[in-house]
């Protein structure tokens, strides 16, 4: 019995330390279907989604979803610490509980108590070891607990730093593509003179953003559960809208920014596919069409009205459909799993942007500036008499 307990304890130690190493330290995608972190997310995410969707208020739902990421991080740390405590306690029990406990005698409860106080480096000293093996194991456990604490303290800044860098670009996209972002709005707001260069620069930034997203979220998949600051924003909707825009530029819009659109599309799709594979998600092929023919015709007219140079050949819609087939299934799979809705191709009705108050103030400034320019071109002096009236007054004075 004690030999079995020792073997189980060694397995618990190995599993806990290996899982913590793969999740926190290893800078690449962790493999294995039976990892503790994977089992934890499988066991907790679906129940969380089930109870959260029972909330009728969408704001409360989004708030509940936003709690899961940070809380799961805390519970993961508790799980790793618990695995180490139980593992060392089982090893102590396999060695015959080599401790002197004046309160309740030796046994598994005493072993568990010693393991807990040692891994958190309490050092109470009320229970003392009787053998050399026990002393060495206590030193090893104390060092393991101190190392886990140090790794965790370094893990939090890295995790939240990656989250902050992700959210900065998402917030910047709000003023350029609407809330939520759409491909039609992004192209419309870059249809001004010189907008092609600005759009190419934006796509270049999002190519780099997609690469950083892939690198950080592959290494720390927990970040995928972290929600954005606003309810109408998410990293999935931002990534999908950029892919929609790139697909439009490649398949049906004339312009020099098509080359950069190809590079951005390749990187963004790569990130989307790899992140869906982290959760073992197959692409969804039976989802409702996001852009049926009638909506494509309306999208075409919206772009034309905005001054976007749209290709007028009869195969543009087919080329766009082929481009969409490369990424929409993976985007839909991640959207369904993480409960983050995909953006439309264009907004059916105007929505208030998160930055709209700033835009209103700028519009007032421009209106005042135009008014001053008109006054400068056509000056009027209401307080001064008309020249003809001056002549008449002078004539009467004489």
DSSP single-letter state for residue 292: -
What are the backbone angles phi and psi of residue 99, rounded to the nearest 5°?
-135, 150
CA angle 55, 59, 64 (to 5 degrees): 60
pLDDT digits (tens, 9 = 90+) for 155-181: 888 889 999 999 999 999 988 888 889
Confidence class of residue 387 from pLDDT cuts 50, 70 and 90? very low
Contact 284, 332 (CB under 8 A): yes
Cα 85 from Cα 81, distance rounded (Å): 6
Confidence class of residue 363 from pLDDT cuts 50, 70 and 90? low
Contact 148, 84 (CB under 8 A): yes
Contact 128, 119 (CB under 8 A): no
What is the residue-averaged pLDDT of the chain? 84
pLDDT surpassing 90 at residue 269: yes
Q: Scanning the structure block, which residue is given the tokens 């108050």?
A: 357
Nearest in space to 36 (alpha carbons), one of 97, 94, 99, 81: 81
pLDDT digits (tens, 9 = 90+) for 176-206: 888 889 999 999 888 888 888 899 999 999 9
Report the pLDDT value the prediction gives residue 302, as an integer from 0 to 100.
87
Report the pLDDT value the prediction gives residue 100, as an integer from 0 to 100.
82
Helix (H, G, I), strand (E, B) or coil at 253: strand
pLDDT surpassing 60 at residue 29: yes
Contact 177, 345 (CB under 8 A): no
Cα 369 from Cα 192, distance rounded (Å): 20
Count of H-run helices and E-run strands, the chain = 14, 2
pLDDT digits (tens, 9 = 90+) for 78-112: 999 999 999 999 999 888 888 887 777 778 888 89
Report the pLDDT value the prediction gives residue 53, as an integer from 0 to 100.
92
DSSP single-letter state for residue 232: T
Q: Could you tell me whether strands 99-100 and 128-129 are parallel, antiparallel, or unpaired per DSSP bridges?
A: antiparallel
Report the pLDDT value the prediction gives residue 377, as an integer from 0 to 100.
59
């Amino acid at each position: 019995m004690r030999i079995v307990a020792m073997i189980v304890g060694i397995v618990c130690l190995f599993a806990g330390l290996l899982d913590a190493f793969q999740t926190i330290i290893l800078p690449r995608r962790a493999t294995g279907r039976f990892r503790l972190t994977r089992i934890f997310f499988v066991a907790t995410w679906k129940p969380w989604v089930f109870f959260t969707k029972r909330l009728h208020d969408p704001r409360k739902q989004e708030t509940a979803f936003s709690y899961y990421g940070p809380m799961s991080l805390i519970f993961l740390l508790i799980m790793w610490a618990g695995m180490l405590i139980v593992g060392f306690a089982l090893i102590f029990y396999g060695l015959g509980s080599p401790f002197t406990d004046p309160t309740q005698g030796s046994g598994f409860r005493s072993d568990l108590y010693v393991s807990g106080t040692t891994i958190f480096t309490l050092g109470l000293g009320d229970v003392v070891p009787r053998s050399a093996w026990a002393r060495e194991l206590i030193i090893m456990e104390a060092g393991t607990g101190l190392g886990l604490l140090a790794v965790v303290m370094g893990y939090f800044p890295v995790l939240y730093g990656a989250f902050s860098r992700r959210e900065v670009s998402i917030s910047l996209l709000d003023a350029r593509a609407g809330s939520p972002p759409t491909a039609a709005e992004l192209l419309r707001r870059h249809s001004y003179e010189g907008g092609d260069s600005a759009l190419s620069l934006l796509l270049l930034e999002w190519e780099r953003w997609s690469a950083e997203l892939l690198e950080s979220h592959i290494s720390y998949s927990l970040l995928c559960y972290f929600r954005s600051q606003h309810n109408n924003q998410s990293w999935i909707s931002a990534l999908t809208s950029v892919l929609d825009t790139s697909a439009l530029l490649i398949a049906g819009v004339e312009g020099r920014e098509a080359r950069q659109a190809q590079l951005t599309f390749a990187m963004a799709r790569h990130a989307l596919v790899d992140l869906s594979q982290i959760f073992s998600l197959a692409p969804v092929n039976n989802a409702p069409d996001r852009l049926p023919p009638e909506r494509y015709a309306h999208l075409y007219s919206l772009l034309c009205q905005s001054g976007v140079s749209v290709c007028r050949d009869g195969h543009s819609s087919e080329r766009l459909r082929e481009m969409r087939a490369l990424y929409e299934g993976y985007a839909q799979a991640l959207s369904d799993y993480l409960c983050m809705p995909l953006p439309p191709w264009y907004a059916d009705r105007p929505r208030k942007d998160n930055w709209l108050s700033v835009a209103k103030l700028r519009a007032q400034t421009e209106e005042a500036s135009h008014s001053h320019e008109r006054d400068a071109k056509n000056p009027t002096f209401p307080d001064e008499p008309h020249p003809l009236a001056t002549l008449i007054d002078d004539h009467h004075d004489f």
